[in-house]
C-alpha cells in the first residue's frame, strides 16, 4: 500500500568515495557532451581517492558550496563532509575495500550533469565482508572548464524479507473493503492465490506475506507493512505501519 509514496526515501547517498587522480587536468577532461563512460571514470576516481585517503582530490573536486544529503543525518556542507570522512593517517585497509559501481547513468545539459548509480560498499570484518548497497544521485556543475561536484544525495537500497509460505485460505479471509476515511478506501483482493491491495485513486499492487498476518509491498517503502487484525476470529481491520506510525483501515460490513 502506498500513501502517495509515503514517509520513506528522501535519502540519497554519500559514502566514502573519490578517487585518486593521477593528473590535475583529469577533472577538466570531461566535455559538455561527455558520455556516461567518462563520468563513470570520474566517479571511480573519487572512490579510489577515498581508499587512498586523498583529501586533496576532494578539495579540488567539490564545489565551494557543495552539499550532501545522507540517508540518516542532516545535510552537510563541504567542510563538514571532509571532516566526517576523517582523512587522517591510518593503517592500510582501514578504509575498506574497493567499492562496486553498477547501473551507471549520466545526463548532461549545458553546464550541468546529473549522475545516478548503485554503489556497494564492502567492509571487511576479519574473514567476513559486509556489503552495504546504496543509490547515488550526484550533481555536477561546470566552472571555468572544469567539472565540480555540486551536491550528492544518498539512499539505502531497499530490501525486503523472504516471502513466507502461509495457508492460502487466509487470502480469501483478508479480501474485502477497508475504510481509512469517508473518501479513502482500501480494496484487498485475492487473485489466484495472490493478495493485492489498492487505495482509492491509486494503482493496484501485490502484497507478499512476511508471516500469516503481516504483508509488504515491493513497490512501496522497505519498512512499510500491512497488518491484518482480528476480533472474535474475524478480520476487522488492516493497519498500515511505517516509520513508527500507524494508519488504521476498518473493514466495512459486507
CA-to-CA distance for 104 and 68, rounded, in angstroms? 19
Secondary structure of residue 177 in the 3-state scheme? strand
- pLDDT at residue 12 in the model: 29
pLDDT band at 154 (very low <50, low <70, confident <90, very high): very high
Cell numbers for 52 = 587512498
Which residue from 20, 33, 93 is spatially nearest to 61, judged by alpha carbons? 20
Instruction: Identify the H or E element spanning 6.
Output: none
Lowest pLDDT segment from 21-25, 42-46, 75-79, 201-205: 21-25
Where residue 110 falls (left for φ over 0; alpha for ψ -120 to 50; beta otherwise) is left
Q: Helix, strand, or coil here: 175?
A: coil
Looking at per-residue confidence, does 182 or 178 come out higher? Answer: 178
pLDDT band for 138, please (50, 70, 90 cuts).
very high
DSSP state of 215: E
Query: Mean pLDDT over residues 112-137, rounded?
Result: 88
Task: State the Cα–Cα distance between residues 46 and 20, nearest whole angstrom.
Answer: 6
pLDDT given for residue 211 in this prediction: 97
The larger pLDDT score, comparing residue 247 to residue 70, is at: 247
139 with 21: CB under 8 angstroms? no
Q: What is the pLDDT of residue 11?
A: 26
Cell numbers 593528473: residue: 23
**Phi, psi of 10, rounded to the nearest 5 degrees:** -130, 40
**Which region among 30-44, 63-77, 123-137 has the lowest average model confidence (pLDDT)?**
30-44
pLDDT tens digits for range 83-98:
888 887 664 456 778 8
pLDDT of residue 128: 85
Q: pLDDT, tens digit, for every residue of 186-206?
A: 999 999 999 999 999 889 999
Angstrom distance (rounded) from CA 37 to CA 15: 21
SS3 string of 191-243? Answer: ECCEEEEEECCCCCEEEEECCCCEEECCCCCCCCEEEEEEECCEEEEEEEEEC
d(CA 92, CA 94): 6
DSSP E strands: which ranges in 70-221? 76-77, 100-109, 112-125, 128-143, 146-156, 176-181, 184-191, 194-199, 205-209, 214-216
The residue with greater pLDDT, 161 or 72, is 161
Residue 176, pLDDT above cutoff 90: yes
Cell 544529503, located at residue: 69
Query: How crowded is residue 3: how many other Cβ atoms within 10 Å of its Cβ?
Result: 16
d(CA 173, CA 127) in angstroms, rounded, equals 48
Give all domains of the chain, ordered by start, each with its CATH number.
24-156 (3.10.450.50), 169-251 (2.40.128.50)
Amino acid at each position: 500500500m502506498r500513501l502517495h509514496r509515503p514517509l520513506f526515501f528522501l535519502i540519497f547517498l554519500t559514502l566514502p568515495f573519490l578517487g585518486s587522480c593521477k593528473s590535475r587536468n583529469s577533472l577538466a577532461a570531461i566535455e559538455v557532451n561527455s558520455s556516461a563512460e567518462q563520468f563513470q571514470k570520474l566517479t571511480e576516481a573519487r572512490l579510489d581517492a577515498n581508499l587512498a585517503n586523498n583529501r586533496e582530490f576532494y578539495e579540488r573536486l567539490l564545489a565551494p558550496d557543495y552539499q550532501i544529503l545522507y540517508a540518516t543525518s542532516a545535510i552537510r556542507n563541504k567542510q563538514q563532509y571532509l571532516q566526517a570522512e576523517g582523512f587522517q593517517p591510518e593503517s592500510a585497509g582501514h578504509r575498506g575495500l574497493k567499492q562496486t559501481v553498477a547501473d551507471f547513468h549520466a545526463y548532461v545539459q549545458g553546464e550541468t550533469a546529473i549522475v545516478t548509480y548503485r554503489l556497494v560498499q564492502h567492509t571487511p570484518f576479519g574473514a567476513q565482508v559486509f556489503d552495504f548497497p546504496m543509490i547515488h544521485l550526484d550533481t555536477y556543475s561546470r566552472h571555468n572548464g572544469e567539472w565540480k561536484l555540486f551536491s550528492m544525495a544518498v539512499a539505502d537500497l531497499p530490501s525486503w524479507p523472504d516471502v513466507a509460505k502461509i495457508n492460502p485460505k487466509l487470502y480469501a479471509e483478508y479480501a474485502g473493503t477497508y475504510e481509512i476515511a469517508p473518501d479513502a478506501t482500501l480494496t484487498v483482493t485475492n487473485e489466484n492465490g495472490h493478495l493485492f491491495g489498492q487505495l482509492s485513486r491509486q494503482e493496484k499492487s501485490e502484497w507478499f506475506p512476511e508471516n500469516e498476518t503481516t504483508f509488504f509491498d515491493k513497490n512501496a517503502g522497505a519498512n512499510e507493512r500491512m497488518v491484518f487484525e482480528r476480533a472474535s476470529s474475524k478480520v476487522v481491520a488492516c493497519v498500515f505501519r511505517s516509520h513508527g506510525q500507524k494508519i488504521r483501515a476498518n473493514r466495512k460490513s459486507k
